[in-house]
Structure 1
Amino acid sequence: MIGTLILKLTGWTVVGAFPDCSKFVAAVAPHTSNWDFVIAIGVKLKLGIKIQFLGKHSIFVGPLGWLLRRMGGIPVERSAAHGMVEQISARFSQQDALILGIAPEGTRKYSPKWKSGFLHIAKAAQVPVVPMILDYRSKQFVILPAIFIQGDIDTELQNVQDLYVIEMAKYPQQVSGDMQSVSAKPD
């Protein structure tokens, strides 16, 4: 009910469907605004699914930290790798169901490259990546078909990135990586 209300008040709709599997990495992009989190939480609540997400450990303090953990947050120290791929891959093997939502850019601000950790996690855990689009042009949260990561991570990263275009973002000037413009996409 709360998720439906959030989406209704913000004018967003959900397009597509989650895959029929209990474990996957949800790659949610483009991520340029704090509103992205609000919309994603609205989708999560509306669909009644449990999605866990990674967040900077520094925001998991006090009442906000409790709330974020309650909503599925997993605090991570981003200043060093700390074997995060192995840790998260182990979580997948230990749980019967796990949907991990990740913003591949790793930040709301411009960065020259997307982080490839989400692909390494999916490959190591042998779970698919499900690309999800926050399209501010149409106010649609789009769920695309699952992709199994089998090849070279750099190639796979570009293949996933090619599913998104700059104009989808709330703040296109902050889009990270090699995301193309609509005008640069082939018909």
Structure 2
Amino acid sequence: MRRLSGYAPRMHRTIFDTPVVNTLLRSASIAYLKLAGWRIEGSLPPQASKCVLIAAPHTSNWDLPYTLMTAFVLRLHPYWMGKAQIFRPPFGALMRWLGGIAVRREQSNNLVAASADALRAADAPVQLIVPPEGTRGRTRHWKTGFYWIAHSAGLPIVLAYMDYADKRAGLGPVFHPTGDIERDMAEIKAFYAPLRGRNADQFDAA
């Protein structure tokens, strides 16, 4: 069980911390993804057991179940950020059990600092998944919250991906933010540029 930091967002117990259920769902995820033709790539290095995961491209509601299945296969302990609306009854408790953390736009000013504090305080492996687009709709401008959370916490960013064109998903390079955000973002975006989301016309890593 992860110790709670006392800050928001709260690193609560999730489905990934439930041994029997986790084992069953990992087996089911491996079987489903194999039948569906997906290839899961990469692994999480020990030195990145606490990190920020970029979730891109993010263009469809289908990204969440595929992301969760990929996390089971790779034995991750992820939390993911979602709009507060999807945490309303009757599905709020389920979303939190799946690792969800409600994000309220009116409280976003403190989100970077609070997230960094929570990651630093966690006493077990934990990965915070943040979609840089901030929305599954088309956008040309990536939000930089994921970058500053990692930089503030002194943790690496792992370039996680889901390419619907080639049906492959997984973990790419480990990136250490330098504080030079323009240079770092250019390098990160270059990695994602060839990838295609489910709705490819809504993703732009230029």
1:48 aligns with 2:75: yes
Superposed CA RMSD in Å reads 1.6
1:156 aligns with 2:156: no
Q: Which moved more, 1:117-126 or 1:155-164?
A: 155-164
Secondary structure at the counterpart of residue 63 of structure 1: coil
Query: Which residue of structure 2 lines up, in the alignment, with residue 183 of structure 1?
Result: none
Do the aligned partners of 1:15 and 1:142 also contact (CA within 8 Å) in 2?
yes
Secondary structure at the counterpart of residue 55 of structure 2: strand
Secondary structure at the counterpart of residue 128 of structure 2: strand
Q: 1:46 to 1:177 in 2, by over 3 A?
A: closer
Give TM-score scaled by structure 2 length. Answer: 0.80
Unaligned runs of 5+ in 2: 1-26
Q: Which moved more, 1:136-145 or 1:161-170?
A: 161-170
| 1:81 CA displacement | 2.3
1:10 pairs, out of 12, 36, 57, with 36
CA-to-partner distance for each residue in 1:35-65, whole Å, 9 max, x for gaps?
1112111111223321001111111112321
Which amino acid is the alignment partner of residue 7 of structure 1? L
| 1:173 CA displacement | 1.1
Query: Which residue of structure 1 lines up, in the alignment, with residue 12 of structure 2?
Result: none
| 1:93 CA displacement | 1.5
**CA distance, structure 2, for counterparts of residue 10 and residue 107 of structure 1:** 26
Q: Percent identity?
A: 33
Do the aligned partners of 2:190 and 2:205 also contact (CA within 8 Å) in 1?
no
Matches within 5 A, 1:1-187: 1-21=27-47, 22-96=49-123, 97-165=125-193, 168-178=196-206
| 1:76 CA displacement | 1.0
Secondary structure at the counterpart of residue 163 of structure 1: helix
Unaligned runs of 5+ in 1: 179-187
Query: Which residue of structure 1 lines up, in the alignment, with residue 24 of structure 2?
Result: none
Give TM-score scaled by structure 1 length. Answer: 0.88
**CA distance, structure 2, for counterparts of residue 6 and residue 126 of structure 1:** 36
**CA distance, structure 1, for counterparts of residue 159 and residue 33 of structure 2:** 20
Do the aligned partners of 2:162 and 2:195 also contact (CA within 8 Å) in 1?
no
Question: Would you say how many aligned residue pairs link Structure 1 and Structure 2?
Answer: 178
| 1:80 CA displacement | 4.8
Which amino acid is the alignment partner of residue 151 of structure 2? K
CA-to-partner distance for each residue in 1:84-140, whole Å, 9 max, x for gaps?
000000101210232011111111111120011000000000000000121112100
Do the aligned partners of 2:164 and 2:196 also contact (CA within 8 Å) in 1?
yes
Q: 1:157 to 1:69 in 2, by over 3 A?
A: same
**CA distance, structure 1, for counterparts of residue 31 and residue 88 of structure 2:** 28
**CA distance, structure 1, for counterparts of residue 205 and residue 70 of structure 2:** 25
Q: Which moved more, 1:78-87 or 1:97-106?
A: 78-87
Which amino acid is the alignment partner of residue 117 of structure 2? A
**CA distance, structure 2, for counterparts of residue 130 and residue 136 of structure 1:** 19
